Amino acid sequence: MVLVLVALASSLVYLSVARSLGGHEEKVFGRELVSLTKRARRMAIEHGVASALLISSEERRCWVRGETAAVEVPETMLIEGEDVAQVEEGVYGIAFYPDGSSSGGTLSFSVGGQVVYAFRTDPITGIISVSKKES
């Protein structure tokens, strides 16, 4: 009887830990993308040349124009943009300018229809504000 209770308790702990880790990859991705976006803004201001955060829907990756490092979009994640420009076929972006302004836009990241992360880039100031974080 005691062994059955220990086994049952162990399985509940396992389920609880697994549930808390669910979506971790997507939340980390959201933070990494915000970081990339801030880097694109900082580069434009520091170098005095326009920069951009780019997102390829076909390749499922995000990067800053002119850099080789990229962040892979998790397979389970859907990215939706509002007021985000299409740079070329299948590639979308938010541009940042030397005066700190940007083309603006809102990006939302969802898994299974539930938004796990979202942020907005102000077109006048270029400041990135997170509107939904992980709980």
| Residue given tokens 């836009």 in the structure block | 105
Residue ranges per structural domain of the chain: 23-132
CB 119 within 8 A of CB 106: yes
Pairing of strands 70-72, 61-64: antiparallel
Amino acid 47 reads H
- CATH code, 23-132: 3.55.40.10
What local confidence, expressed as pLDDT, does residue 61 receive? 95
* pLDDT tens by residue, 8-64: 444 433 333 333 335 688 778 888 988 999 999 999 999 999 999 999 999 999 999
Report the pLDDT value the prediction gives residue 10, as an integer from 0 to 100.
Answer: 41
